[in-house]
Amino acid sequence: MERYRSASPAVKVGVFYDGSYFTHVSNYYNYVHSHRRRLHIGGLHEFVKHMVAEREGTRPSLCHIIDAHFFRGRFTAREANEKPNQLYYDRVFDDVLMYNNVQTHYLPVKDLQGRKREKGVDVLMALETYELCMLKRYDVVALVASDGDHVPLVRKLHALGCKTMLLGWDFEFTDQETGELQTTKTSTDLWNEVSFPLPMHDLIDEGLKEDDEVIRDLFVVRDTVRDTEGEGADRPAPVLVDDERHRSTVMSLMNGYGFIRYPDNNLFFRYDDLQEVTFDQLRVNDEVEFNVAVNNKGQRVARNIIRVAEI
């Protein structure tokens, strides 16, 4: 049995998210990784408490996350309205963050030479983290980040007597649309600077193989159909219009979802609507057989999709 120091004091923890990075990693696990689940904010906080407890020689129940903050660039309402359901998905994710007591910090996404870019988010994150650490005297700051620009922040936190933990990922995959190799790497300088570096890609893969409960709870449990961008937001499963089977071809494929050609209005589908074929195996113009269903917004979608075998 693991032994703890007697009369261990409580450990004050602050968690700070680079929001775009967290979303990118969550999308990777939802659409690319074999686990096919989004990261769960509440589960990640429990994981942080266990990791801090392990390194501080105390119990997870004595590790208290007293602050959690999420920093990200954000489109204007007008720009978001031009993307299908983007405002809805933004609100769903805001609900998830509020439910888990995460405070949000948004800056407008800037248009720089025709490209949308976040500007100043890293600086805002560094300033807020340092100021809050001075005020509240965290024992440990956990960063969900990857950029080497955070190294000066880590050094400043250490000067305050605060330890740092980094949740970082290194992974790569081939984009099914472009065929290009996509690589995500955490800054080596940042890995080397923090007190407790956590290579999450390895920890998660090992934990899933061993069916570790803490690792398993890092992900949203998918008991019902979930929204494409809403982390953990349940919605009722689409209802079949009838039992008739239809045939058509795949019109487009994106990150885990696509559209099937269908009269009047093409049908949306998700990777978990497929049967006997994985999303990675599907190609544009493949012939498929499916049922037509209606989702909770009254929109027609494709369900129970099977790729028609070539003769």
Q: Is residue 221 part of a domain?
A: no
Q: What is the CATH number of the domain that holds 39?
A: 3.40.50.1010
Neighbour count for residue 188 (Cβ, 10 Å): 9
CB 257 within 8 A of CB 271: yes
CA distance 257 to 239: 19
Q: Do 146 and 264 share a structural domain?
A: no
pLDDT at 91: 82
Q: What is the CATH number of the domain that holds 267?
A: 2.40.50.140
pLDDT at 112: 60
pLDDT at 225: 42
pLDDT at 232: 42
Q: Which domain holds residue 198?
A: 11-216
CA distance 27 to 257: 12
Q: Do 284 and 178 share a structural domain?
A: no
- Residues in the chain where the model's pLDDT stays below 70: 1-8, 84-85, 111-118, 176-178, 222-237, 297, 310-311
Q: Is residue 249 part of a domain?
A: yes
pLDDT at 224: 41
Q: Is residue 229 part of a domain?
A: no
pTM: 0.71
First to last CA, the chain: 62
Q: Do 248 and 153 share a structural domain?
A: no
Contacts of 175 (CB under 8 A, 6+ apart): 181, 182
pLDDT at 97: 92
Q: Do 246 and 189 share a structural domain?
A: no
Q: Do 184 and 53 share a structural domain?
A: yes
Q: Do 268 and 125 share a structural domain?
A: no
Q: Do 65 and 99 share a structural domain?
A: yes
Q: Do 105 and 30 share a structural domain?
A: yes
Q: Do 250 and 114 share a structural domain?
A: no
Q: Do 162 and 244 share a structural domain?
A: no
Residue 309: in which H helix or E strand, if any?
A: none
Q: Is residue 64 part of a domain?
A: yes
Q: Is residue 169 part of a domain?
A: yes
Displacement of CA 281 from its chain's centroid (Å): 24
Q: Do 202 and 250 share a structural domain?
A: no
pLDDT at 77: 79
Q: What is the tally of structural domains in the chain?
A: 2
> What burial class does residue 307 get, using C-beta atoms within 10 Å of its C-beta: 0-12 exposed, 13-18 middle, 19+ buried?
middle
Q: Is residue 2 part of a domain?
A: no
Which domain-ending residue is among 216, 251, 272? 216
Q: Do 72 and 18 share a structural domain?
A: yes
Q: Is residue 96 part of a domain?
A: yes
